[in-house]
């Protein structure tokens, strides 16, 4: 096995043996290997990395590829058969991985001499994937230009990226009640550094799990993907604040700036400002005058108000109902002592938003509005004030009015992970824009991926994979959906998303349908998959089978009073019509027409084109497609599925059909090329 010593460790030999025992099981991933080896996932990752220099998923893929080479040398199976025998769900993905590892396609394996892959290939495999998996922003710019876009160039060594994480400060006071004050010092240091655009600052939620950690500084830095870490400890004794703080360079595990402070509590704001400035100076971060103005801003002159505010932060960040119920009165106490305390108003509004988040009957809409207005009144340049107002508009579902507040918040806090996550969600769901969805999904990974456990990381990578496939980056989407499944094979949505990504790659409807049926067999309550199976049969024009699944879906939707997938009702109507159920077909057609009337998205003209084609109004349908051809940043699925949609088939004889479809395709790939260039320029790809 390459990338191991000649005398491989017993650990690696055991891991290889277990992988080989499960070689044909596509679902046997890193988590399963850890379980069989009676190890935690994190220990497995570290051990494999130490012994092989590969990540666990790379190591497992390597074992599968080497085994596949043995099979190919026997000349008894086809490439497709071998790919499935060694646990690759997609033959094309297997061919891609094989070529990257050996330097030639698997079809040539039987024609070549048995030889170890060259060291150059080993290096390429490692350099292509390692930093992509870790998510380091500076390396993404370099590596993805090779791995994603095959644009190899000689590059000069880039300077060390200014990425930093502020670890939870330790409370050295004998009084545990002073913990909130020490946490407040950490919170302030983090918040001030986040205002500097030249820094990449990891979110608070990302670092919180290291409060009681036994991990070393290099291990934490690698997991969080940063080059610098801030450690601190402090205590409050009466009116005196004692603070020890150091800035550590991760690569050398050595402090590059250390300071001890002893200040009066009344000087706490000056202390916070000084710490932020000295850290920025030590790592040579460029701070603009506007950013310095934000850093030097004092939240309140009233120390009693500030004390109540600090007490509220820990329960506030729990996001639990119990924590929010504790935090809100403390924020209000802060406001009682300083009625112009913008941060307290903003956090109260945000707390009320989370109180209502999962409630069908919203109780605090006016509270959110009123407190956010007060926050903006007293500090209109605070990211928190702007976020609170955006959340009000999101509560009343006026998403377009939320956007400018979120964008402005990002100007004042370019490292705000919550803002970036909200923007990604809005552009994915409420205000569809695939380019912006992908941009913010990539930014979110830079700031927050280190935060999460395996399950959370799985969903983060799912989110990114979904954004990538929507913008036509098919191979990249495969990479991240596989990472999502590596972290959590039981992820609820990843298998479904992977099914369609693989269809975009291979255009194999039969394989897609079988994957869907397999996923449905694991959980027959999945109405989303139920209608997807019906749709797969619909695209294959197997209307009897499509009806079986669509009928079950439609009945369940009525039974449980669900308002879902109304945009698919025209396909259901088509199938019911083919089955001679005209009256029911009319009801589904009516539902779809209502959906079109209410649709305010960029897809309305495409939906209307389907409606007119269904009605036999081909000229009107073509006119709607011409309108859609002028839209930008629409999903790749439009190209993938329009060409096989039975409802649109009659349009193919129209003299303008081919031209308008070419215009739609040209527009998509023009947007794709522009997006790729933009993301490269911003250092996201």
Q: What pLDDT, in 10s, does the model give residues 82-103?
A: 888 898 866 666 776 787 788 7
The rounded distance, in Å, linking the Cα atoms of 515 and 450 is 31
- What is the secondary structure of 322-363 as a DSSP string? HHHHHHHHHHHHHHHH-TT-HHHHHHHHHHHHHHHTT-SS-S
Domain with CATH 1.25.40.10 in the chain: 302-407
Residue 51: CB atoms within 10 A of its CB come to 17
**CA proximity to 64, closest of 104, 35, 119, 22:** 22
Domain with CATH 1.10.10.60 in the chain: 10-134
What pLDDT is stored for residue 382 in this prediction? 93
Q: What's the Cα-to-Cα distance from 144 to each of 80, 198, 320, rounded to whole Å?
A: 28, 22, 39
What residue has token string 């000069």? 156
N- to C-terminal Cα separation, the chain: 32
The rounded distance, in Å, linking the Cα atoms of 441 and 448 is 10
What is the pTM for the complete model shown?
0.63
Residue 318 pLDDT level (bands cut at 50, 70, 90): confident
Residue 322 pLDDT level (bands cut at 50, 70, 90): very high
Q: Is 302 exposed, middle or buried (0-12, 13-18, 19+ CB in 10 A)?
A: middle
**CA proximity to 214, closest of 445, 54, 42:** 42
- What is the secondary structure of 609-625 as a DSSP string? HHHHHHTT-HHHHHHHH
Phi and psi at residue 241, to the nearest 5°: -115, 125
Structure-model confidence comparison of residues 261 and 178, the more confident one? 261
Query: For the chain, what is the mean pLDDT?
Result: 85
Contact 434, 444 (CB under 8 A): no
Architecture of domain 302-407: Alpha Horseshoe (1.25)
Contact 684, 645 (CB under 8 A): no
What pLDDT is stored for residue 90 in this prediction? 66
Interior CA angle at 325 toward 320 and 330, to 5°? 120
What pLDDT is stored for residue 42 in this prediction? 67
CB neighbour list of residue 592: distance below 8 Å, 6 or more residues apart: 566, 567, 569, 570, 573, 607, 611
The rounded distance, in Å, linking the Cα atoms of 133 and 126 is 11
CA dihedral 325, 331, 335, 336 (to 10 degrees): 60
Residue 506: CB atoms within 10 A of its CB come to 15
The first and second tokens of residue 38, run together, are: 């009676």
Q: What beta strand segments (E) does 79-160 contain?
A: none
Q: What's the Cα-to-Cα distance from 361 to each of 322, 355, 535, rounded to whole Å?
A: 19, 11, 34
Residue 283: CB atoms within 10 A of its CB come to 20
Architecture of domain 163-298: 3-Layer(aba) Sandwich (3.40)
Contact 475, 498 (CB under 8 A): no
Residue 214 pLDDT level (bands cut at 50, 70, 90): confident
Q: How many CA atoms lie within 13 A of 276 on its CB side?
A: 29
Residue 160 pLDDT level (bands cut at 50, 70, 90): low
**137, pLDDT greater than 50:** no
Residue 450 pLDDT level (bands cut at 50, 70, 90): low
Q: 3-class secondary structure for 390-455?
A: HHHHHHCCCHHHHHHHHHHHHHHCCCCHHHHHHHHHHHHHHCCCHHHHHHHHHHHHHHHHHHCCHH
Contact 512, 644 (CB under 8 A): no
**531, pLDDT greater than 80:** yes
Express each pLDDT in 491-507 by its tens digit: 889 999 999 999 999 99
Express each pLDDT in 228-263 by its tens digit: 999 988 888 888 888 899 999 988 889 999 999 888
**5, pLDDT greater than 90:** no
What's the CATH class of domain 10-134? Answer: mainly alpha
What residue has token string 């298998």? 495
Give percent of the chain with pLDDT exceeding 70.
88
């Amino acid at each position: 096995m390459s990338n191991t010593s000649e005398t491989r460790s017993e650990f690696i030999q055991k891991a290889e043996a277990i992988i080989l025992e499960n070689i044909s099981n596509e679902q046997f991933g890193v988590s399963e290997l850890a379980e069989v080896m009676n190890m935690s996932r994190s220990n497995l990752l570290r051990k494999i990395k130490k012994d092989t220099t590969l990540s666990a998923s790379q190591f497992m893929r390597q074992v599968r590829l080497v085994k596949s080479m043995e099979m190919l040398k026997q000349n008894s199976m086809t490439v497709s058969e071998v790919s499935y025998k060694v646990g690759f769900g997609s033959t094309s993905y297997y061919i891609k991985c094989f070529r990257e590892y050996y330097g030639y396609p698997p079809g040539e394996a039987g024609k070549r001499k048995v030889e170890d892959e060259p060291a150059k290939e080993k290096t390429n495999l490692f350099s292509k994937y390692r930093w992509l998996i870790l998510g380091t922003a500076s390396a993404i710019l370099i590596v993805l230009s090779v791995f994603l876009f095959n644009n190899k160039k000689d590059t000069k060594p880039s300077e060390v990226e200014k990425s930093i994480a502020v670890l939870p400060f330790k409370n050295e006071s004998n009084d545990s009640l002073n913990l909130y004050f020490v946490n407040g010092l950490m919170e302030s240091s983090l918040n001030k550094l986040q205002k500097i655009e030249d820094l990449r600052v990891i979110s608070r939620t990302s670092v919180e799990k290291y409060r009681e950690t036994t991990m070393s500084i290099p291990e934490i830095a690698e997991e969080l993907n940063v080059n610098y870490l801030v450690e601190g400890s402090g205590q409050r004794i009466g009116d005196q604040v004692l603070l020890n703080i150091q800035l550590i360079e991760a690569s050398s595990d050595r402090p590059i700036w250390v300071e001890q402070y002893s200040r009066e509590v009344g000087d706490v704001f000056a202390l916070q400002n000084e710490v932020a400035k000295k850290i920025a100076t030590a790592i040579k971060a460029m701070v603009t005058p506007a950013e310095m103005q934000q850093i030097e801003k004092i939240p309140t002159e009233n120390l009693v108000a500030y004390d109540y505010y600090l007490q509220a932060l820990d329960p506030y960040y729990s996001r639990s109902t119990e924590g929010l119920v504790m935090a809100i009165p403390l924020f209000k106490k802060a406001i009682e002592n300083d009625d112009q305390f913008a941060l307290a108003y903003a956090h109260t509004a945000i707390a009320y938003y989370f109180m209502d988040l999962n409630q069908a009957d919203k109780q605090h809409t006016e509270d959110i509005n009123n407190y956010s207005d007060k926050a903006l009144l007293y500090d209109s340049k605070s990211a928190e004030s702007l976020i609170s107002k955006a959340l009000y508009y999101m509560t009343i579902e006026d998403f377009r009015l939320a956007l400018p507040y979120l964008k402005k918040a990002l100007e004042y806090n370019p490292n705000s992970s919550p803002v970036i996550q909200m923007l990604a969600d809005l552009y994915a769901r409420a205000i569809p824009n695939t380019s912006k969805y992908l941009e913010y999904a990539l930014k979110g990974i830079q700031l927050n991926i280190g935060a999460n456990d395996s399950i959370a990381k799985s969903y983060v990578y799912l989110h990114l994979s979904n954004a990538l496939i929507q913008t036509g980056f098919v191979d990249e989407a495969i990479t991240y959906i596989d990472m999502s499944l590596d972290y959590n094979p039981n992820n609820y949505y990843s298998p479904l998303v992977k099914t369609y990504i693989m269809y975009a790659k291979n255009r194999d409807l039969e394989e897609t349908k079988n994957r869907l049926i397999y996923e449905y067999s694991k959980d027959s309550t999945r109405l989303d998959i139920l209608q997807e199976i019906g749709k797969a049969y619909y695209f294959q024009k197997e209307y009897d089978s499509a009806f079986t699944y669509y009928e079950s879906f439609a009945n369940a939707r009525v039974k449980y009073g669900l308002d879902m997938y109304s945009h698919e009702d025209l396909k259901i109507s088509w199938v019911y019509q083919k089955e001679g159920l005209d009256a029911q077909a009319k009801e589904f057609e009516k539902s779809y027409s209502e959906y079109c009337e209410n649709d305010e998205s960029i897809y309305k003209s495409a939906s209307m084109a389907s409606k007119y084609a269904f009605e036999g109004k081909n000229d009107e349908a073509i006119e709607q497609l011409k309108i859609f051809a002028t839209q930008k940043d629409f999903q790749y699925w439009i190209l993938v599925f329009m060409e096989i949609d039975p409802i649109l088939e009659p349009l193919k004889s129209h003299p303008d059909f081919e031209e308008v479809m070419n215009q739609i395709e040209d527009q998509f790939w023009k947007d794709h090329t522009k997006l790729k260039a933009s993301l490269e320029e911003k250092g996201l790809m």
